[in-house]
């Protein structure tokens, strides 16, 4: 049996679709030479007329592979992402030396390279190793699917130089995609840890605004034939202010909370301003800004002070979480706006829903252009001066912002390289993945958005008087909600709160029982007690009861998202110590405790909602 037949037999069991593809693949661009050690090495023609390039050492590929792996701390990491497979010498060496629970994820661009490797070498040992995950020219979805549940592992990227030299751009992009995915998972966990309860509590505190204010959807599909500009607060915004002034009557201008004050102070009144962040600092963006016709478009999770400090008309978006989604049974659906992790992504989705023709991005640097984090004149920029003293000057503050996350240099709009970080790269990928032919980048400087056409703002529009402000004002006035209607809704909401609180308290009692039972189960497993079966059965009964209480589940669901991610992404905590059934029991205990904590938090949210409702009715 040939090497190819032996190798393909094993690969068939792991990835049948890949085998079908490989059988159709041609390998003419690869030639093979035999080394002094008798090993086979692929040669690739990178440039016509020049000598082919060897992907592995033509003297001793095994020794070369060992040197590459010697440079790794094999005990420190348990996920090895190998950029470039080639003929697999380095992958084989790595598999032979890593710990048993480690994984190797190898990415190869060329199916022809893998087919040649399967033809020339016996790779049955590597291919049959369950710790090897082999991807051939994967797209972003395949990368995400493969890395799912592995974000908690200690990752090291291993670049195979021979493969990298064949297509540096491709392998650099794969490296960036994988780092971006892993970083976004870490960001998700950190964000949930920081904000999951704040989001829900803000929704409860903003319940009255949700009842009293029109929904964002009153503006949806009302601006067909017009264009929209989304204005961020990137450092290069100052170069676009004059163009924005000239076009403010002919296009829909959507500001972010970070850029709103800059626009107002420069004689530009945006038609909308998006605010979605739950923190108090985002409310400060509107402090001291005089009233304008700009409509605030606020997410229900925004800090309550936003509605007090913003001077002007306001609308709210739909409740994003089931915890308070029930409120819309009485208020009606307010208008969805998709979240992408940044207020600029929300603004893009909002602009799309307006029905405009094209959307132009301005001030979307996503980088530290001119070594600045934000445009001069923004609230965050002004705060820098408030914090300055003789021990902590402006330069030191700015340096801290630039070095808060590891530095990444990426292609910029002007063809050079620009300083960014992984967080901003996540948003770059978000915009690129929209694959929107009607999205244009009119930002003067900053990160290049691949696949998005660049156009100067002045060249994007023809001068015309559409009087967008008049359109916005007319739509808003028609959507006002009568005071009597608000009172009626508040009374209905108060009654619903009582029912929800009663159900939540019943579930809370069962969860207290579940926590005690799970603790008993762990002890029984340690002692190999005969009580294990009865304890498991008791927990099953509790689980069925909790599953039947849909309202209570919805109320506590949002406050335990970090717990769910911790378990599903495979993060090990001290609570998960032990092995086998004991470890499973400890994860159950961890979940029950989190659910119980969620019930206690739901009680707080419901009490807050009831208090606000009673105050409104009395007044």
- DSSP per residue over 44-83, as a string? E-SSTTSPPEESS-SS-HHHHHHHHHHTS-TTT-SEEEEE
Domain ranges of the chain: 3-184, 206-218+225-475, 483-618
pLDDT of residue 314: 97
The segment with the largest mean pLDDT, out of 81-95, 136-150, 162-176, is: 81-95
Which range, of 17-26, 82-91, 368-377, 452-461, averages the lowest pLDDT?
368-377
Residue 71: pLDDT over 50 = yes
Tens-place pLDDT, residues 480-491: 889 889 889 888
Mean pLDDT of the 313-325 span: 86
Tens-place pLDDT, residues 412-427: 898 888 888 877 888 8
Tens-place pLDDT, residues 264-273: 999 999 999 9
Residue 282: phi, psi to the nearest 5?
-70, -25
pLDDT of residue 117: 94
| More confident position, 107 or 595 | 107
pLDDT of residue 479: 92
Kindly report the CA angle at 209 between 205 and 215, in degrees rounded to 5? 130
**CA proximity to 333, closest of 293, 300, 294, 306:** 300
> Are 199 and 319 contacting, i.e. CB atoms less than 8 angstroms apart?
no
Distance CA 138, CA 157 (A): 17
Tens-place pLDDT, residues 182-236: 766 555 555 545 566 778 788 888 988 999 999 999 999 999 989 999 999 999 9
Which numeric CATH code is attached to 483-618? 1.20.120
390 falls in which pLDDT band (50, 70, 90)?
very low
Tens-place pLDDT, residues 356-372: 999 999 999 988 887 77
pTM: 0.66
Mean pLDDT of the chain: 84
Distance CA 134, CA 15 (A): 9
The CATH architecture that domain 3-184 belongs to is 3-Layer(aba) Sandwich (3.40)
482 burial type by CB count under 10 A (0-12 exposed, 13-18 middle, 19+ buried) = exposed
The segment with the largest mean pLDDT, out of 415-429, 436-450, 457-471, is: 436-450
Mean pLDDT of the 292-298 span: 96
pLDDT of residue 377: 63
Tens-place pLDDT, residues 543-573: 888 878 777 766 666 555 555 555 555 545 5
127 falls in which pLDDT band (50, 70, 90)?
very high
582 falls in which pLDDT band (50, 70, 90)?
confident
Beta bridge partner(s), residue 253:
229
| More confident position, 54 or 563 | 54
pLDDT of residue 267: 94
| More confident position, 181 or 516 | 516
pLDDT of residue 470: 93
Distance CA 168, CA 157 (A): 15
Sign of CA dihedral 64, 67, 71, 72: positive
Residue 511: pLDDT over 60 = yes
> Are 599 and 552 contacting, i.e. CB atoms less than 8 angstroms apart?
yes
Residues written for the chain? 619
pLDDT of residue 115: 93
Residue 305: pLDDT over 60 = yes
Token look-up 């998700």 returns 188
Residue 386: pLDDT over 50 = no
Mean pLDDT of the 320-338 span: 86
Residue 463: phi, psi to the nearest 5?
-65, 125
């Amino acid at each position: 049996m040939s090497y190819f037949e032996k190798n393909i037999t094993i690969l068939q069991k792991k990835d049948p679709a890949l085998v079908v593809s490989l059988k159709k693949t041609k390998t003419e661009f690869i030639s093979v030479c035999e080394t002094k050690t008798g090993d086979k090495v692929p040669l690739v023609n990178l440039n016509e007329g020049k000598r082919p390039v060897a992907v592995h050492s033509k003297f001793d590929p095994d020794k070369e592979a060992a040197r590459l792996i010697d440079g790794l701390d094999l005990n420190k990491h348990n996920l090895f992402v190998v950029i470039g497979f080639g003929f697999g010498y380095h992958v084989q060496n790595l598999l032979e030396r890593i710990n048993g629970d480690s994984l190797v994820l190898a990415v190869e661009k060329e199916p022809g390279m893998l087919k040649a490797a399967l033809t020339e070498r016996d790779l049955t040992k590597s291919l049959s190793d369950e710790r090897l995950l082999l991807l051939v020219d994967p797209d972003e979805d395949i990368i995400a699917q493969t890395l799912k549940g592995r974000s908690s592992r200690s990752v090291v990227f291993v670049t195979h130089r021979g493969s990298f030299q064949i297509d540096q751009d491709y392998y650099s992009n794969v490296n960036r995609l994988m780092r971006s995915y892993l970083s976004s998972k870490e960001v998700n966990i950190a964000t949930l840890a920081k904000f999951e309860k704040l989001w829900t509590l803000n929704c409860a505190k903003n319940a009255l605004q949700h009842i009293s204010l029109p929904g964002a959807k009153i503006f949806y599909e009302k601006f067909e034939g017009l264009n929209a500009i989304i204005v961020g607060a990137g450092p290069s915004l100052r170069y676009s202010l004059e163009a924005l002034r000239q076009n403010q009557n002919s296009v829909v201008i959507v500001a972010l909370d970070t850029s709103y004050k800059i626009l107002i102070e420069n004689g530009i009144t945006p038609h909308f301003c998006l605010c979605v962040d739950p923190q108090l600092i985002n409310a400060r963006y509107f402090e001291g800004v005089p009233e304008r016709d700009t409509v605030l478009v606020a997410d229900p999770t925004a800090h309550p002070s936003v509605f007090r400090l913003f001077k002007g008309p306001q609308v709210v978006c739909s409740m994003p979480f089931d915890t308070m989604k029930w409120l819309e049974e009485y208020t009606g659906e307010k208008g969805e706006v998709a979240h992408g992790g940044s207020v600029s992504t929300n603004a893009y989705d909002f602009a799309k829903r307006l029905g405009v023709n094209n959307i132009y991005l301005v001030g979307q640097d996503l980088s530290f252009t001119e070594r600045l984090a934000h445009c001069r004149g923004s609230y965050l920029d002004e705060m820098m001066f408030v914090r300055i003293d003789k021990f902590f000057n402006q330069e030191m503050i700015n340096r801290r912002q630039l070095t808060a996350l590891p530095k990444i240099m990426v292609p910029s709009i002007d063809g050079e390289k620009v300083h960014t970080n992984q967080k901003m790269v996540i948003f770059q990928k978000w915009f690129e993945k929209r694959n929107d032919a009607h999205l244009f980048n009119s930002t003067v400087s900053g990160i290049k958005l691949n696949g998005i056409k660049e156009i100067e703002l002045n060249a994007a529009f023809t001068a015309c008087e559409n009087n967008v402000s008049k359109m916005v004002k007319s739509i808003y006035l028609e959507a006002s909600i009568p005071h009597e209607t608000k009172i009626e809704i508040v009374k209905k909401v108060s009654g619903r709160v009582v029912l929800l609180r009663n159900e939540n308290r019943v579930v809370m009692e069962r969860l207290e029982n579940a926590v005690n039972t799970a603790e008993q189960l762990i002890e029984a497993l340690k002692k190999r007690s005969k009580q294990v079966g009865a304890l498991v059965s008791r927990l099953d009964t509790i689980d069925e009861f909790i599953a039947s209480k849909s309202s209570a589940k919805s109320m506590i669901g949002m406050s335990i998202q970090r717990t769910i991610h911790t378990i599903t992404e495979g993060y090990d905590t001290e609570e998960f110590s032990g092995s086998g059934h004991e470890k499973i029991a400890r994860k159950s205990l961890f979940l029950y405790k989190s659910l119980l904590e969620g019930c206690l938090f739901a009680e707080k949210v419901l009490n807050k909602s009831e208090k606000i409702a009673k105050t409104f009715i009395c007044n």
